[in-house]
Amino acid sequence: MALVLNQLKRKTDPRLLVGINTADDAGVFLLQENLALVQTVDLLTPVVDDPYTFGRIAATNSLSDVYAMAGTPVTALNVVGFPTHGDEAWLAGILQGGEDAVSDAGAVVCGGHTFNEEEIKYGLAVTGTVDPEQMITNAGARPGDVLLLTKPLGSGLFAQALMSRPEVDPELYKAATTSMSTLNEAASRAMIPCGVHAATDITGFGILGHGQELAEASGVCLRFSLDSFPFLPGVRELSDSGLVDAGVVMNESSFRQHVDWDDGLTKSDRTLLWGSETSGGLLVSLPEAGVKQFQEMAGEKGVQAKVVGEVLDDRPGRIQVRR
């Protein structure tokens, strides 16, 4: 996609505060001195068999891009691909799940678009607002910053297990669906008071892909510690058993030239981190002095923000992964 976008002749506009140049989570457009629009769109194919749960997860995933910019969602448009003769009850369940997630975010669904598609797809086009002076992008990380992650990893591997195995551990199912259905609002609201310099939400490109984009946009190097990452219960064991998330090949081929691995990390360790994530948490970069406050503020809403690495003044755009 980047190769295609680079071929386009784009018009510039000083009101476009964040465009596609830094691979950020959403576009930001200035309306007036203290008000900018945050706009994003995202679609998912079903990651669980329950339509309501899927709708809620897909909507939460779409809303997350606005939260990553420290924005507030305002309106949403449903975007639905659905078979002409599909089960209407399934479609109603999906839309209700999305409606409820948007309502929980304090926003309003004001319409949408459907198209005939054999494979079900659902997501939202979301518009939010942000004060340009308080906007958080993926381009502000600074050497010496600490990296925190606000949701566990492993949702992609969980989805793969659902598709390829006769049953999934109930504890993993509950943890994964709860995590993917939880808005990133609490973590987003903690960013400005705690002095966060940069943030991105972890979705299809996984922790390494989105981390690399943040490192490149910020002109820094990120160092992650594998054993510091929070994981959904049982996903490391699934990885050790040989299960591989479908997103691994895409992410590894796209970003492997930017990642340096410690010698002690196994193939299972690597594929685990290359995996895609659905409706993941926020990866935030902030000064060490703000870490405790961020964890406490987010923790008041049940968010467990874990320290997973640090920002280095080293080769820009690189990722280092150690045990």
Domain that holds residue 59: 2-134
Q: What is the mean pLDDT of each run of 10 residues along the chain (323 residues)?
A: 68 90 91 96 95 98 98 98 94 98 98 95 98 96 98 96 88 97 97 97 96 97 97 95 92 96 92 96 98 96 96 96 94
C-alpha–C-alpha distance, residues 76 and 65, integer Å: 12
In the prediction, which pLDDT does 12 show? 82
In the prediction, which pLDDT does 322 show? 95
Last residue of a domain, one of 134, 161, 184: 134
In the prediction, which pLDDT does 79 show? 98
Kindly state whether residue 262 falls inside one of the protein's structural domains: yes
Q: Note whether 69 and 197 are same-domain residues.
A: no
**CATH number for 42:** 3.30.1330.10
In the prediction, which pLDDT does 3 show? 62
Q: Note whether 233 and 303 are same-domain residues.
A: yes
Classify 23 in phi/psi space as left (phi over 0), alpha (psi -120 to 50) or beta: left
Total structural domains in the chain? 2
- How would you list the strands of the sheet with 221-225, edge to edge? 198-201, 282-286, 146-149, 306-312, 221-225, 319-322, 259-261
Q: Note whether 113 and 225 are same-domain residues.
A: no
| 29, two tokens | 């457009």
In the prediction, which pLDDT does 201 show? 96
In the prediction, which pLDDT does 11 show? 78
Q: Note whether 46 and 187 are same-domain residues.
A: no
In the prediction, which pLDDT does 246 show? 87
Q: Note whether 71 and 151 are same-domain residues.
A: no
Kindly state whether residue 15 falls inside one of the protein's structural domains: yes
Q: Which residue in 257, 277, 272 sits closest to 42, CA to CA?
A: 277
Tens of pLDDT, residue by residue over 242-255, are: 999 989 999 999 99
